[in-house]
Amino acid sequence: DQQVKQNSPSLSVQEGRISILNCDYTNSMFDYFLWYKKYPAEGPTFLISISSIKDKNEDGRFTVFLNKSAKHLSLHIVPSQPGDSAVYFCAASALQRGSTLGRLYFGRGTQLTVWP
Amino acid sequence: NAGVTQTPKFRVLKTGQSMTLLCAQDMNHEYMYWYRQDPGMGLRLIHYSVGEGTTAKGEVPDGYNVSRLKKQNFLLGLESAAPSQTSVYFCASSFGLAGGLTGELFFGEGSRLTVL
């Protein structure tokens, strides 16, 4: 059963516009959330994270919003650039809740395409 | 700056053959992981290690074995390959526990394995 869900397999956005990637989770024990970006033929790379004690974290053009009551987070990219075209994975962990690993649960990914 | 290096990058096996994937990291990380990624699926954890000489099962461990004889290396073995093991395999390492504040995962470039 998928505990982290990315229901949109793809998203297409014009350069300069905002990209909004969504992620939903089912496990209320999750307390740390991350986004990874993956280019073809490369491994995923860490992009941004947010702890459950916050509802927003910003890093340059990237902002992650967390809505704990809705069990929903989103990644906003403003402005979008062609180099942002990649697969974006949402991931979650329950590190503070006694997990021995703080194992990351990944969503299936969203392919973002930013066109000129 | 090598980071996480996986060998080989590509391999084709026949059903029943065995092989070993090697992962090496030069960041002195304690934690190492093996994930697999299948089309339309997120990353799924196969096995992991919390330090030299230790290994543990992840989400999908069946058909795989691992060893961590040296801190910098994490080997993934397939004793009798099956077509269901056709996948892209990613090794990762982290300084702290995955999903935590110091648990950013650093991934290798991936190893594409095809089992005929």
For the residues of A71-83, what is the DSSP string, one character each?
A: TEEEEEESS--GG
Residues in chain A whose Cβ is within 8 Å of chain B: 2, 4, 6, 9, 32, 34, 36, 41-46, 49, 51, 89, 91-95, 101-109
Beta bridge partners of A10: A111
Amino acid letter, B23: C
Residue B107 is predicted with a pLDDT of 95
Average pLDDT estimate for B17-42: 93
For residue B109 the two structure tokens come to 């470039």
Average model confidence (pLDDT) across chain B: 92
Question: CA of A25 to nearest chain B CA: how many angstroms apart?
Answer: 14
CB-CB neighbours of A48 under 10 Å: 17
Length of chain A: 116
Residue B1 is predicted with a pLDDT of 61
**Which of B10, B31, B36, B37 has the highest number of chain A CBs within 10 A, making it the mutation to test binding with A?**
B37
How far is residue B48's CA from residue B31's CA, in Å, rounded to a whole number? 7
Question: CA of B52 to nearest chain A CA: how many angstroms apart?
Answer: 16
Average pLDDT estimate for B42-46: 91
Instruction: Name residues of chain A where pLDDT drops below 50.
Output: none
Interface check B42 vs A, CB under 8 A: yes
For residue A83 the two structure tokens come to 């180099």
**Which residues have a Cβ under 8 Å from the Cβ of A7 and sit 6 or more positions away?**
A22, A24
Question: CB–CB of B111/B89 below 8 Å?
Answer: yes
For residue B23 the two structure tokens come to 């992962």
Residue B99 is predicted with a pLDDT of 65
Residue B109 is predicted with a pLDDT of 95
How far is residue B34's CA from residue B38's CA, in Å, rounded to a whole number? 14
Look at residue B104 and tell me whether its pLDDT is greater than 90.
Answer: no
Look at residue B24 and tell me whether its pLDDT is greater than 80.
Answer: yes
Look at residue B32 and tell me whether its pLDDT is greater than 80.
Answer: yes
> Please, how many CA atoms are within 13 Å of residue B91, restricted to the half-sphere of its CB?
27
pLDDT band at B34 (very low <50, low <70, confident <90, very high): very high
Lowest-pLDDT choice from A93-102, B21-30, B40-49: A93-102
Chain A partners within 8 Å of B58 (Cβ): 103
pLDDT tens for residues B67-91?
Answer: 999 999 999 999 999 999 999 999 9
**Which residues have a Cβ under 8 Å from the Cβ of B34 and sit 6 or more positions away?**
B21, B23, B45, B46, B47, B48, B58, B64, B66, B74, B76, B89, B90, B91, B92
Residue A99 is predicted with a pLDDT of 52
The 3-state DSSP class for residue A24 equals: strand
Residue B78 is predicted with a pLDDT of 96
| CB pair distance less than 8 Å for A42 and B92 | no
| CB pair distance less than 8 Å for B98 and A44 | no
pLDDT band at B113 (very low <50, low <70, confident <90, very high): very high
